[in-house]
Amino acid sequence: MWICLSALNSAFRLNADNPFITDEESIINRAVRKPDLKVRCIKVQKIRYVWDNLEGQFQKIGCLEDWLSSAKIHLKFGSGLTTEEQEIRRLICGPNTIDVEIAPIWKLLIKEVLNPFYVFQLFSVCLWFSEDYKEYAFAIIIMSIISIALTVYDLREQSVKLHRLVEAHNNITVSIYGKNAGVQELESRFLVPGDLLILMGNKVQMPCDAILIDGSCVVNEGMLTGESIPVTKTPLPKMEGSVPWRRQGEGEYKRHVLFCGTEVIQAKGARSSTAKAVVLQTGFNTAKGDLVRSILYPKPMNFKLYRDAIRFLLCLIGTATIGMIYTLCVYVLSGETPGEVVKKALDVITIAVPPALPAALTTGIMYAQRRLKKRGIFCISPQRINVCGQLNLVCFDKTGTLTRDGLDLWGVMPCDGNGFQEVHSFTSGRTLPWGPLCAAMTSCHSLILLDGTIQGDPLDLKMFEATTWEMVVSGDDFHKGVPGCAMVVKPCGTSSQVPVEGIAILHQFPFSSVLQRMTVIVQEMGGDQLVFMKGAPERVASFCQPETVPTSFVSELQIYTTQGFRVIGLAYKKLEMDHHISALMREQVESDLIFLGLLILENRLKEETKPVLEELISARIRTVMITGDNLQTAITVAKKSGMVSESQKVILIEANETTGSSSASISWKLLEEKKHIAYRNQDNYINIREEISDNSKEGSYHFALNGKSFQVITQHFSSLLPKILMNGTIFARMSPGQKSSLVEEFQKLDYFVGMCGDGANDCGALKMAHVGVSLSEQEASVASPFTSKTPNIECVPHLIKEGRAALVTSFCMFKYMALYSMIQYVGVLLLYWETNNLSNYQFLFQDLAITTIIGVTMNLNGAYPKLVPFRPAGRLISPPLLLSVILNILLSLAMQIVGFILVQRQPWYSMGMHSACTVQNDTLSKLTISPTPPVKNGTNGVFTSFENTTIWFLGTINCIIVALVFSKGKPFRQPTYKNYIFVLVLVVQLSVCLFILFADIPELYRRLDLLCTPVLWRVYIVIMLSSNFIVSLVVEEAIIENRALWMTIKRCFGYQSKSQYRIWQRALANDPSWPPINQTSYSDMPGCGRGVSYSNPVFESNEDQL
C-alpha cells in the first residue's frame, strides 16, 4: 500500500529536497520516497509499518522514536507542532482510533458455514436426501442451525462488547497547543505523536499515550491494572545528555506516562491550572490498543489434544477410503448402476467419519462451563477448560491473592540515636506523639481528596487514618508560602498538643515498584521545608546517614518479617530554603536522610489459602509465589501457607550485576532462622547456615530470589536458569514484566502453567499463562480466560478438577464416537458383501435414538471432588487410548463376523421365508434346505435379510454397551451411577432394544425392515453381546485403566518422559554438586555463562515498552 503526500503539496508546497519533519533523523523523513513523495506501508495486526529507505526494512509508525532524550522531547515538542507537520504525521501515522468493527451477522454466518465440519455435514445431508434418508438429515440440519446460531450469537455479542469497550475512545474532544495556531480544540482521532496536549479539569479520559512534561496528574489506571487506586504522575525531568528518555534515571519511566484508556482524576500545572503532555503513541500502539489487540489476536494455544483430534479424524478418513475401494469393487462386480455404486461408496465416508463428533465435544465443554458458572467462575475462552486438566504448576500473586487485601496498622517502632524504642501500638487507642515520625505518617503518601473523600493506596490510607489528622485543599489565600491547590494536612480539633497549624505537600516523587520507595517535599506552615521518604526498609536505610540507622536494624526487621508482618521504613531531613523545589532532582532530595523508624502492618493469610495449597501440593501440582513484596515476608508467607513445609529448606539465591572489573556473580546461601549476619547488603537481610543436610535433594529444598537477581540470572546465567526454576518457589520484588517472563520460562520447561492474581500488576502474566485466573472483576480481567467472583484461591482446584473431568469426557467422546462409527462401518461393509444394507429407519434408530442421546447425556458427569496426584493423559494418540479403541474395534468386528457367518449356517436361513418365527424347533432338522436368494422388500430398495437383522441388533446394542464401558468415573469424574440421566437413558435404550428383539410384532418389524428369527437365535445374539460386554469391561478395567500396569511397562521398556522439566529432574537427581551451598559463581566461569535462549511464538506485543 502506498501513501501519497502529493495531496498536501498544493496546501503546503512541500519541497522534496528539504526534510518534511523538523527532526531530520525521524523515521517519517526516511520513509518518504523522492521525488514522487510516496510512502510504502503495510498493516499487520492493526499496526502500521512504513518502509525505511535508509535501513531497507519496515519500521513501526504511530509513536515517538525510542532514541529521543528527555531534553529533545522538551525542546522539539514542548511548544507544539506546526500545522504542516501535524498534517504530514496525520497522513503517514493514520488516525488515532481503536476501531473494532461490529462483525456483520452475514459475515459471521458465512465464516461459520464454511467451517470444514459444516461443509462435511452439508455433503452428508445432500447424500442422505438423495437416498431418501430425510429424517436424520433434518435432525442434523436442525442441530447444525442451532449450533451455528448459538456460535454466531456468541461471536456477535463478543464483538459488540469489545466495540463498546473502545467506542468512547474515538469520540473525545481534546485541547492541543500548536506552534503557530495556539490552543485549539479537535477530536481525539486527529491526534498525532508529538502533539502537545493541554490537560485541564477533572475526570478526563486519555485518548492516547502521552508523556507528562509540565504539571502533575492523578490517574485511575484500573482499566489497565485492575486496581482502582489513584496513581500520581510526575513530569519528565529535562535532563541533559543523549540517553533515551526511557532509560534515564534509576526509576521507572512509567511514572511520567499517561496511558490511553486511563482516567485523569486531577490535573494541575506547575505554574498554571493546566498540565501539558506530549502525545507518545496513538491508535493500536497505545496501552489500551495493545490490550484490545491481545483480545483480537490471542496467543496460539499449543495443546496437543487439538492436533491429535485432526490426526484422529484423518485416520477415520483413511479407514473410510479403504471402505470406499472395497465398496466400489463389490458393487461394480455385482453389476450395479454407476449412480448406485457412487452413492454407496460415498455413504461409507458419512458412516466412518461421525458428523455428530464436534457437537458432542462442544456439549461436554458447555456442561463444564455451566458447572464453573455455578461456582462463580466465569470463562471467556471455553477451549481453555480442557487445558486446565493438564496444569501441573500454578503461580500465585501474594497480596490480595494468598493474603487479605486490607492491611491493619499493627504499630510503629520509633528510633533515636541509641536504637529502637518501644513499639507504639495503635490498637490501644493512644495517638502518636508529635514529632518527625508523626509528620511523616501524615504527609508521606499519595492520597488525594476527591468529592470530599480521601482516596488512594490502602496502605497510605491506613497510615494516615491512624494519625487522626484531616486533609484539605489550599486556596489562593490559604497561607503565606503555600501555593494554591496544594494538598494540606492538618490536625483535627482533638489534637491540641500539635505545635503546627498544618503541613502542605509541595512536591511528590511517587512510589515506584522498581525504586521501592516514595518521597515528598513538604512545608510546615510557618516552619521548615522537610523531605520525607517511605518505602522498603532496606531501601530507605540505604539513603540514610549510617549513624542514624540502629545497629539492631537487621535483627529487628528480621523479627517482624519472619512473623509475616509488612514493614515500611520512614526517614526525613530538613531542606535548605534557597532551592526552587521544581528544579530539585530526586537524587539531590534523597540523600543524607535521618532514619525515623519502622511502620509495622499486618497482612493475614486468607482462611482458604492453606487448605487449597495443601490440596494442590498433595496432588503433586507445583505451587510458586510471585510477589512484589519483601523477600523475607514472602518466605514467611510461603512457610505459613504450607507452600514450603517445615522439613524443607530454603536456599537464597542472590545475583549481582557486573560492577567495574568484576563480572556478574551469583551466590547461594541456606536460610537459617536463628542465626544473624551483620548488616552489609542493602537488599537482602537473611540469616545463613554453613552446611546443608544430606536430604536436601529434589523436593526437600526451595530456592528464593528477588526480581533483581532473576533479571541478572536471565541475562548472565541463562544456562543455570532451568536448574533454578526446577526448585524455584519464592520470587519476590518482581515487576509486572518479570512476572510475565517467569511464566514464559516455566512454559519453556514444558510445564502447563496456571497464574492466579487479583488483577493488579498481573495482567501480563495472566495473559501469558496457559490458564489465567483473575480474582478481580475490573476491566483488566477481560484479558484473563477465567474470572472468579469469589476473591480467594479456592477457584483454582475447582478449575483443575473441572478441567480434568472435561478432558476425560473429551477422550470418552472420541473413543465412543470412533467405536460407534466403526461398529456401523463394519456392519455395513459386511452387508455390502451380500449387496445388502441397513434401511433408513435402522440407521435413524442407531444415529438418533441411540448415539445422539448418549452423546448429549454421557458428558453430564461432574468432576470428582478429590484431586489425585496424577493427571489424565494429555494426548489423544496415547498407547492406552489407542489400544482401547483398537481392542474394542476388534471385539466388535469379531462379534459381527461371527454373527454374520453363524446366521447363514442356521437350518432356517435359506428356506425362502420372510420370517422364521413360525418354524418349530423339532422340524428344523427335517427341512430340506435349498438356497433361495433374498427377496427385495420395502420402498427404500433395502434387502431385508437375516444377516441384516442380526447385524443391526448386534450393532445397536453394542453401541449401548460401549457407552457404558467407556463412561469413566473415578478418579477424575463422578462415578457413572451418579450420572442419573445417562444411566436412565441406557436402561431405557437397552429395554427398548431387547423389547424389539423379543417382541413378535409384525408391524414393528416391517417398519424397521427386520425379519423375525427363532427365539433361540435371539438368545444367541444376547449371549454374543454379553460375552462382548464382559470381555470389553475386563480389558478396559484390567488393562487400559490399570495405571500400575502401564507404569511397569514403561519401566520395563525404559520409557522416560521427554518433557524438559522431567529431563532436568533426572539430571539434577544425579548431580551430587547440586544445589551449590555457600558458593559464589561468576559469569565468566565455565558452565555459568549464557545458554541457548528462545521464546514462544506469541502475537507481537508492546507490553514491554509500556
Collapsing DSSP to helix, strand or coil, 756 comes out as: strand
List, by residue number, the catalytic residues.
Answer: 397
Give residue 577's pLDDT band: very low, low, confident or very high (50, 70, 90): low
Section 770-793 average pLDDT: 75
**Mean pLDDT, rounded, for 221-234:** 69
* Helix then strand then coil, % of the chain, to nearest 5: 45, 20, 35
DSSP 8-state class, residue 66: T
For residue 474, pLDDT beyond 80: no
Higher pLDDT, 1092 or 56: 56
Closest-CA residue to 726 (of 703, 706, 693, 705) = 703
Q: Which residue, chain included where needed, has cell 501524615?
A: 442
CA atoms within 13 A of residue 927's CA, in its CB half-sphere: 18
Output phi, psi for 612, to 5 deg: -65, -45
Which residues neighbour 472 within 8 Å (Cβ) at sequence distance 6 or greater?
Answer: 449, 488, 489, 490, 502
pLDDT > 70 fraction of the chain, expressed in percent and rounded = 84
Instruction: Give 462's contacts (C-beta < 8 A, 6+ positions apart).
Output: 406, 407, 408, 409, 601
pLDDT for residue 1102:
44
Could you tell me how far CA 813 lies from the centroid of its own chain? 26
Helix and strand numbers, DSSP H then E, in the chain? 34, 39
C-alpha distance from residue 903 to each of 934, 942, 1013 (Å): 14, 19, 10
Q: Name the amino acid, one letter, at 351.
A: I
More confident: 249 or 989: 989
pLDDT digits (tens, 9 = 90+) for 794-844: 999 999 999 999 989 988 888 898 899 999 999 999 988 887 888 888 888
Residue 888 main-chain phi, psi, to 5 deg: -70, -35
A 10 A CB-CB count for 90 gives: 18
Residue scoring higher pLDDT (1101 or 718): 718
Q: If you search the block for the grid coordinates 424397521, which residue do you land on?
A: 1008
Q: Give 300's pLDDT tier (boundaries 50, 70, 90).
A: low
State yes or no: pLDDT of 916 exceeds 80: no
Q: Which of 220-234, 559-573, 591-605 has the lowest mean pLDDT?
A: 220-234
Rounded Cα distance between 199 and 623, Å, is: 46
Is the pLDDT score of 932 beyond 50? Answer: no
Lowest model confidence (mean pLDDT) among 6-20, 964-978, 1072-1086:
6-20
Q: What is the pLDDT of residue 964?
A: 93
Residue-wise pLDDT for 955-985, tens only, equals: 999 999 999 999 888 889 999 989 999 999 9
The predicted pLDDT at position 677 comes to 33
As a whole number of angstroms, the distance between CA 149 and CA 155 comes to: 10
Q: What is the pLDDT of residues 412-447, one digit of tens each?
A: 999 877 788 888 887 666 778 888 889 999 999 888
Residue 687's pLDDT is 42
Q: Parallel, antiparallel, or unpaired for β 622-626 and 649-656? A: unpaired
Highest-confidence segment of 266-270, 339-343, 650-654, 761-765 = 650-654
pLDDT at residue number 587: 80
In the predicted model, is pLDDT for residue 92 greater than 80? Answer: yes
Contacts of 1025 (CB under 8 A, 6+ apart): 895, 954, 957, 958, 961
Strand partners, 680: none
Mean pLDDT of all residues belonging to the chain: 80
Q: Which residues contact 329 (CB under 8 A, 6 or more apart)?
A: none
More confident residue, 973 or 935: 973
Three-class secondary structure of residue 281 per DSSP = strand
Residues 217-232, mean pLDDT to the nearest whole number: 71
Please give the share of the chain, as a percent, with pLDDT higher than 90: 16
Omega before 116 cis (within 30°)?
A: no
997 grid coordinates: 428383539
Question: Residue 570: is its pLDDT beyond 60?
Answer: yes
Predicted confidence at residue 429, as pLDDT, reads 67
CA 1101 – CA 529 distance, rounded (Å): 45
For residue 482, pLDDT over 80 is answered with no
Q: Is the pLDDT of residue 154 over 80?
A: no
